[in-house]
Every structure is written in C-alpha cells, then in structure tokens.
Amino acid sequence: MMLRNFHRFIALPRVERRWLRVALFYLPIHRLGVRAAGFRRWHRWLAWDRPARTKSTLGRSGPEASQIALAIERAARRLPGGANCLDRSLTLWWLLHRQGLAADLKFGVRKNEAELEAHAWVEVGGRAINDSEDVSHRYGAFESPILPEALPSGSTAFQKHRASHETDSDPLLLRGEGE
C-alpha cells in the first residue's frame, strides 16, 4: 500500500508534488497552532505574516489556487486524525496569501435538526475553491469576515466559540442547547 501511494505521488506532475509536500508540512502546523493558541491569536499571527501585494484576479490565480486547494485536500486525507474544515481552509488561505493571491476565509452556519453547524471555506474572486460552488447558500455565509475578536468577550456567542475550541475535536461544530 505504501509503495502504491509512493508511485501515485511520483506520477503527479512536479508542481502538484511540490504543493502536496508543502500541504503535508503546513497543515499539521496550522492544526496544532489553532489548538494551542486558539483561532484568534493564530489567525492574527498568520495575517501579520503575509505579503502586502496580492494578485486580485481569479483568471491569473485560479489554476494555482485550485492546485493548492487540491493538495491540501489530499494531505488532509493522509494525516492521522484528518483535518477539519477550519484547519484546511486556514492553511489554504495562508498559503494563497503567501503566494500573493487575494483570498477570503469565509464562515457560514446552518441549523441541522437540533445542532447549529458552522463551516469554513476559502473564496478567490468570490468563488469557493475548496468546497462546492453553493457552499455559501448551504451555510448562511456571513457577509463580512467574522473573527473571534469581533465578538464581545461577555457574549454567549463568544463563550460558545471559546468552549468549542477548547473541547471539541471539530472547533466549528457548535451544539445548540435545547434548540
């Protein structure tokens, strides 16, 4: 099995092999960073560590952004314990910004029976690149970026957000109480 995976890896085009290696390296780092520092601090650090110039058009950045997104999905399947949507999307958003590509980290929510589910994805030029095209409709996407620092520290939403990051294996799954 390992030999078969190695042959599949070698058969990939050179640029895809490169992005897969990068994704395998950074995905666990971002997963651990969010768990250790919390999303707020980790995101702030990542946002600080990005280049100022960005390519804003999807036309030039589309194929490269899609290759990076595919590499992250492949890497997530190979990691022990996998990676949730926040880990994958945060890593993708950061890698795109490191390449000088304009990307938006998006969040959305939906109610599914008695649970409130949250989801993260990345958009380039207003188009989701690591999820289906209709993701913003399936999960009521927030119009502007919703980051933990935007929540008042005493609010119920902030407390649920913090608790979900400290206890859940998927920090974006918030359980409603009696809903």
Model confidence pLDDT, tens digit, residues 83-128: 899 999 999 999 998 888 889 999 999 988 888 899 999 999 889 9
pLDDT computed for residue 140 by the predictor:
84
pLDDT computed for residue 122 by the predictor:
94
The upper half-sphere exposure of residue 146, i.e. CA atoms within 13 Å in the direction of its Cβ, equals 18
pLDDT computed for residue 164 by the predictor:
45
Residues of the chain with pLDDT under 50: 52, 56-60, 148-159, 161-179
Distance CA 148, CA 44 (A): 10
pLDDT computed for residue 106 by the predictor:
92
Distance CA 103, CA 97 (A): 7
100: phi > 0 → left, psi -120 to 50 → alpha, else beta; which? left
State pTM to two decimals: 0.71
pLDDT computed for residue 168 by the predictor:
39
Please give the sequence-ordered ranges of beta strands (E in DSSP) within the chain, or none if there are none: 104-112, 115-124, 127-128, 140-141, 173-175
